[in-house]
Structure 1
Amino acid sequence: MNLSNLLKVMALLFIQLRPKQWTKNLIVFAAPLYSMQLVNPNVFWKSLVSFFLFCFISGCVYILNDFVDRKADRMHPDKKHRPMASGALNPNLALTFGFLLFVSSVWVANLFNVSFALCLILYFTLNVFYSLRLKHVVLIDILLIASGFVLRAVGGALVIDVPLTEWFLLCALWLSMFLAVSKRRQELYLLQNKKGSHRKVLESYSVALLDQYNSIFATTTIISYSLFVISSEHSNLLMWSIPLVIYGICRYLYLIHQEGKGGKPEEILLEDKHIFITAVMYVVLILISLY
């Protein structure tokens, strides 16, 4: 293999890790942020490493998922362009790369914290079951998508050895469920009458049902976050973040219902200026409140 071909394969493998979706792993910084340790260089370094380890482990999941779904993805308007689905990347080569990346990532995680390494393994295992079977089981598929976000938050706490409050975990869970339901609704919206040809479980859902779920989880997210803030010792200042959370949720619902978006939260964060500005304002306010 000459240099140009090698670089091409390396570029395809990097694309296969879906770096555009790495923003979802920023939730690992929640624990150091709210524990007021983010400014500690040692803590920040550990959190940064945990961020990239989750990026790599999630990349391994994407490799396996795309390997299993490569035939079905060819019928999807967006996913047909993925490296394996398009035929640009050898599936066996991608699997080998994913295995080596998984082993090395777990090994590095174990150097920091055994519990964190186990969290990564659990995250990967649940997603493997999701990719191979459970993504076809109605409701369980949504729960497993949401569990990935929760485990990221837990992993961010484990790597720096700090506890997470019950209200924080509930916030992470309900927000994760909201994003997972939005993802399914967007797939249903895009595929419409051909929904079963790509993902069989979509035959078990309807737009009306997923809209009800979204309303439930949007409400519980706001309530849980409000209670989380009220229970904090910095509640006087953190209370000002509640309107930002409410606006962010409402803006996301607007994008879902009026613009047909919502399937890719990592892209919405970067592409929708209202969501992006709200997120920046929220982080700045939290930093001012806690530090």
Structure 2
Amino acid sequence: MTETAVLRQRTHQERPAPPRKGGLLAGLLRTARPKQWVKNVLVVAAPAAAGELFSRHALGRLALVFVLFTACAAAVYLVNDARDADADRAHPVKRHRPVAAGQVPVPVAYAVGGCLGILAPAAAAWLCGPAVAALLTAYLAMQLAYCISLKHVLVVDLAVVTTGFLMRAMIGGLALGIPLSRWFLITTGFGALFMVSAKRYSEAVQMAGKAGATRALLTEYTTGYLRFVWQLAAGVAVLGYCLWAMEEGGVPHTSVLPWRQLSMVAFILAVLRYAVFADRGTAGEPEDVVLRDRALALIGVAWVAMYGLAVANW
């Protein structure tokens, strides 16, 4: 062994191991990414858009769908972290993940992820019907393909992650038998692409020049291209929403104020506010941006109120 190799081995051995927090169950829970579960609230999007959210049947069914989708997402996270354990140990942040840190053994992560991936679609087929089970199965297949190879393919990686968000938004409608409108799909799809590409852009900006601290695929993208994608997606999402708001769709206008049209203001302000973080390169964790920025939260509350009034035709 050469002197250089000996020094490298000694340095690696002397590097302090990431701290382990809690036991195996705590590690599995952390690997399931509880902070990411907020994304699964999108299951209420289609029923909310159709004004069929607040019946007892709808709430019970949507709660079940939320749990099932969360289980599928957890399965993907477990398998992904098990596959990437070696690479994550070289990352300044990801090396603290439970699987990379050794808190959750790799075989255990694979086993729990596999069980969740089998049980969730099976439960959906029994409790929610074949359409929901098929969508969950398609989500798992797509996300596992992403973990194995698709995350290394330019543009396809953006499309896969975006489709995952779109599936979350679609599954609530499938569970309740609600038709999905074209404007709903366009706005949701491009809104998701906006957030996904803004996240990639932020990662590229923050990790630039840091060897071993970034996704390999980010070196293939340019920040200019990623900026173009999130700006384009934001524009299409806003356009799709405005077309929905301006189209009466044959429903008689009986509300006190034109809430559909007024909701455009809040929606556009929300996009513009989020774009501030995207432009700064600080939108790497979308859930943190949404949950921690008070101005964005207030705009979101205003939009939800106006959107609800529009759907209820008050």
Shorter-chain TM band = over 0.9
**Following the alignment from structure 2 to structure 1, what is the Cα–Cα distance between the partners of residues 252 and 99?**
49
Deviation at 1:23, TM superposition (A): 0.8
From the superposition, tell whether residues 45 and 221 of structure 1 become closer, same or farther in structure 2 (CA, over 3 Å). Answer: same
Indicate the residue corresponding to 2:299 in structure 1.
278
**Following the alignment from structure 1 to structure 2, what is the Cα–Cα distance between the partners of residues 103 and 268?**
33
Question: Is the partner of 1:159 in helix, strand or coil?
Answer: helix
Deviation at 1:142, TM superposition (A): 0.5
Identify which of 233, 238, 241 aligns with 2:263.
241
Indicate the residue corresponding to 1:69 in structure 2.
84
**Following the alignment from structure 1 to structure 2, what is the Cα–Cα distance between the partners of residues 45 and 89?**
33
- Map 1:36-185 → 2, pairs under 5 A: 36-110=51-125, 111-185=127-201
From the superposition, tell whether residues 187 and 234 of structure 1 become closer, same or farther in structure 2 (CA, over 3 Å). Answer: farther
Deviation at 1:195, TM superposition (A): 6.1
Deviation at 1:231, TM superposition (A): 2.5
Indicate the larger mover: 181-190 or 68-77. 68-77
Aligned AA (1:241): S
Asked whether the 8 Å contact 2:241–2:264 carries over to 1, the reply is yes
Deviation at 1:234, TM superposition (A): 7.6
Indicate the larger mover: 67-76 or 222-231. 67-76
Indicate the larger mover: 278-287 or 114-123. 278-287
Bigger radius of gyration: 2
From the superposition, tell whether residues 10 and 196 of structure 1 become closer, same or farther in structure 2 (CA, over 3 Å). Answer: closer
Identify which of 272, 275, 279 aligns with 1:257.
279
**Following the alignment from structure 1 to structure 2, what is the Cα–Cα distance between the partners of residues 273 and 13?**
31
Moved over 4 A (4+): none
**Following the alignment from structure 2 to structure 1, what is the Cα–Cα distance between the partners of residues 164 and 29?**
21
More helix by share: 1
Aligned residues: 285
From the superposition, tell whether residues 234 and 192 of structure 1 become closer, same or farther in structure 2 (CA, over 3 Å). Answer: farther
Indicate the residue corresponding to 1:3 in structure 2.
none
Deviation at 1:58, TM superposition (A): 0.7
Aligned AA (2:46): A
Asked whether the 8 Å contact 1:134–1:141 carries over to 2, the reply is yes
RMSD: 1.8
**Following the alignment from structure 2 to structure 1, what is the Cα–Cα distance between the partners of residues 43 and 50?**
12
Identify which of 258, 261, 269 aligns with 2:290.
269
Indicate the residue corresponding to 1:4 in structure 2.
none
Indicate the larger mover: 20-29 or 189-198. 189-198
Aligned AA (1:288): L
**Following the alignment from structure 1 to structure 2, what is the Cα–Cα distance between the partners of residues 8 and 127?**
27
**Following the alignment from structure 2 to structure 1, what is the Cα–Cα distance between the partners of residues 45 and 38?**
13
**1:100-149 CA-partner distances (Å, limit 9, x unpaired):** 12222112211211100100010111111111001001111111010001
Deviation at 1:67, TM superposition (A): 1.4
**5+ unaligned residues in a row in structure 2: which ranges?**
1-21
Identity %, equivalent residues: 29
Indicate the residue corresponding to 1:206 in structure 2.
222
Asked whether the 8 Å contact 1:244–1:282 carries over to 2, the reply is yes
**1:139-191 CA-partner distances (Å, limit 9, x unpaired):** 11111010001111111111111110111101111111111111211221222
TM-score, structure 2 as length reference: 0.86
TM-score, structure 1 as length reference: 0.93
**5+ unaligned residues in a row in structure 1: which ranges?**
1-6
